[in-house]
């Protein structure tokens, strides 16, 4: 069974631009969560989508948004990029919603550099 | 408030030595889950273990073992007979039952296994 895939793996953008990251969960998984990892803040939860609905959201500004499609694939969008948005963005999938109920499986991440 | 502390930022040991990674957590909930994840240089988070707050039995999986002590709010991870492939960043995480299943990660411990 294929794992979680994220595209692109690496991305370079400039301040003010917007970016869209994609995540394809493990086949059959309906929950997708997004995390931001930076050296300073560590791993932080962004949001979770389940059955095309945002179920949970972390403490990030409205510039960070996401969506989930009927095939459970998810996209994350960051608008008006700032230097501080440079990070590794990790996607995780699970069968059902919530870390309590199911183990989350992580993708390799998208490394975003904002210049 | 929920919090996970991994006091050891970086550890180096010689191959075949045993090493213990410390994790201390804070929570007001009686029902919660604790996790350990491994992040190798490739960046992908690998799930190692999930333990609920009602199960204090220690667990052993091959060279890995976990010691969960509610009395000290600790969930320590020991690698026995370490190998170079164990070199990675290890994250301890907490999820509370009443917090919409969000996961809070510690800052991680970078483990170097020297040949």
Q: Which of A6-20, B6-20, B36-50 has the lowest mean pLDDT?
A: B36-50
E-assigned strand segments in A1-115: 5-7, 10-13, 19-24, 31-38, 42-50, 53-57, 64-68, 74-78, 87-94, 105-106, 110-114
Report CA A84 to chain centroid distance, whole Å. 16
B38 touches chain A (CB under 8 A): no
Give the pLDDT of residue B58.
84
Of B43, B50, B102, the CB nearest to A103: B50
User: How far is it, in rounded angstroms, from Cα B92 to Cα A87?
Assistant: 20
- In chain A, residues 74-113 whose CB comes closer than 8 Å to chain B: 88, 90, 92, 97-101, 103-109, 111
The nearest alpha carbon in chain B to A96 belongs to: B101
Of B37, B95, B102, the CB nearest to A58: B102
**Stretch A22-38: mean pLDDT:** 94
Give the pLDDT of residue A94.
86
Q: Name residue B103's beta-bridge partners.
A: B95
For the record, the structure tokens of B69 come out as 């002590």
A62-77 in b/e burial notation, b at 16+ Cβ within 10 A?
Answer: eebbbebeeebbbbbe
Which residues from chain B sit within 8 angstroms of residue A92, using beta carbons? 45
Which residues from chain B sit within 8 angstroms of residue A58, using beta carbons? 102
User: How far is it, in rounded angstroms, from Cα B111 to Cα B107?
Assistant: 13
Give the pLDDT of residue B97.
72
Of B33, B44, B105, the CB nearest to A42: B105
């Amino acid at each position: 069974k294929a794992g979680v895939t994220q595209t692109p793996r690496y991305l370079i953008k400039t301040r003010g631009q917007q970016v869209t990251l994609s995540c394809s969960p493990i086949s059959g998984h309906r929950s997708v969560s997004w995390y931001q990892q930076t050296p300073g803040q560590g791993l932080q939860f962004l949001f979770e989508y389940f059955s095309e609905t945002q179920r949970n959201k972390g403490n990030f500004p409205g510039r960070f948004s996401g969506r989930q499609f009927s095939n459970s694939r998810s996209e994350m969008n960051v608008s008006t990029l700032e230097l501080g948005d440079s990070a590794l963005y990790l996607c995780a999938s699970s069968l059902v919603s919530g870390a309590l109920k199911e183990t989350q499986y992580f993708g390799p991440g998208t490394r975003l550099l904002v210049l | 408030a929920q919090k996970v502390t991994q006091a050891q930022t970086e550890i180096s040991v010689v191959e075949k030595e045993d090493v213990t990674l410390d994790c201390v957590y804070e929570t007001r909930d009686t029902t919660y889950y604790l996790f350990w994840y491994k992040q190798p240089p490739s960046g992908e988070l690998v799930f190692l273990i999930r333990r609920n707050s009602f199960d204090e039995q220690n667990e052993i999986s091959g060279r890995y073992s976990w010691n969960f002590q509610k009395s000290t709010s600790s969930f320590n991870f020991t690698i026995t007979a370490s190998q170079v492939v164990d070199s990675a960043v290890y994250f301890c995480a907490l999820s509370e039952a009443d917090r919409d299943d969000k996961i809070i990660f510690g800052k991680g411990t970078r483990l170097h296994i020297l040949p």
